Amino acid sequence: MTSAERKKAAIERKIKRKFGNRQKLASKTKATYPADIEDERKKILLAIFALYYRTLDRYQDSFDRDVIYKEVMNRRVVKNSFKRIRENAEKLYEHQAAALNKQIKDTLGVELSDDLFDTKEMRKLVDEIAESDINDVKETVDKLLDAAEVIFERNRLRNIFLFLAVSRVIRSNAAITRQLHEQMGVSEYVWTTQRDNRVRDSHRRLDGRIFKYSEPPVMNEKSGERGNPGDDFGCRCVATPVFGINILEHIA
């Protein structure tokens, strides 16, 4: 047996002991919403907003959508912001991979390498997320210039950019978390709200309950729509993993 094999065998023994006769173990540490990543994303989008607003303001009397669009997109501030969106998506992945690794350590008592989560599929997902988030900014600016009545009102515009930041981080976080969970063979989660006064009643009722990713609960009682945490409009709920003994097949 090589030392790597010995180490792996020791980890497997430890995990088996933790599970005992059980098939499932919910994480002892709850998942949290990545508020710091969201704050950073808001700052990035506000920098784009500020430049867009200034440019729009300057052309108020000689409005030409194509000229404004080009000018905004060619500015260094915006190009740099796109780079920062990419880094922000990357950071979201690293943040959530580290959080999952800690949940594994707290629940199963084993120390895994962070590299384990860094797969080709994960790289692809993070790339796609960054690409799609950047495109969404471009499309939003484009649509705003096409709006029947172009919005010159500062606060309304600012809110559009802020909403874009938040909705994108929510969506990316849900996608990255789910992919990380799947890589560890996790198919169920504990619905976890932020437990503050912004949580909607229908989600408060889901808090602490276990669901399967493949059979999500009703998240919107009015429409009857089903979904996992983060699927509902502006939902900051997150999925705390329920580990299965099948995790042994995923830590090689």
* Nearer residue to Zn ion within complex by CB, 42 or 203: 203
The CB-of-64 to Zn ion minimum distance in angstroms stands at 42
Residue 237 touches Zn ion, criterion: CB under 5 A = yes
Q: Spell out the alpha helix ranges (H) of 147-207.
A: 154-183, 201-204
Q: How far is CA 123 from the centre of its chain?
A: 14
44 scored as a contact of Zn ion (CB under 5 A): no
- In the list 125, 235, 239, 242, the residue contacting Zn ion (rule: CB under 5 A) is 235
Instruction: Specify the stretch interacting with Zn ion by CB under 5 A; choose among 26-34, 107-115, 117-125, 234-242.
Output: 234-242
3-state DSSP helix/strand/coil % of the chain, to nearest 5: 65, 10, 30
Which residue in 172, 170, 208, 178 sits closest to 191, CA to CA?
Answer: 208
How many CB atoms lie under 10 A from the CB of residue 24? 14
Listed in sequence order, the residues at least 6 apart from 186 whose beta carbon sits closer than 8 Å to its beta carbon are: 241, 242, 243, 244, 247
Supply the minimum distance, in Å, between the C-beta of residue 32 and Zn ion: 13
169 is a site residue for Zn ion (CB under 5 A)? no
Of the two residues 168 and 203, which places its CB atom closer to Zn ion in the complex? 203
Q: Is 174 in the site for Zn ion (CB under 5 A)?
A: no
The number of residues making up the chain comes to 252
Residue 165 backbone zone (phi > 0: left; psi -120 to 50: alpha; other: beta): alpha
Taking CB under 5 A as the criterion, the residue among 99, 186, 203, 241 binding Zn ion is 203
Q: Does 37 bind Zn ion (CB under 5 A)?
A: no
Nearer to Zn ion, 41 or 203 (CB): 203
Binding residues (CB under 5 A) for Zn ion: these are: 203, 235, 237
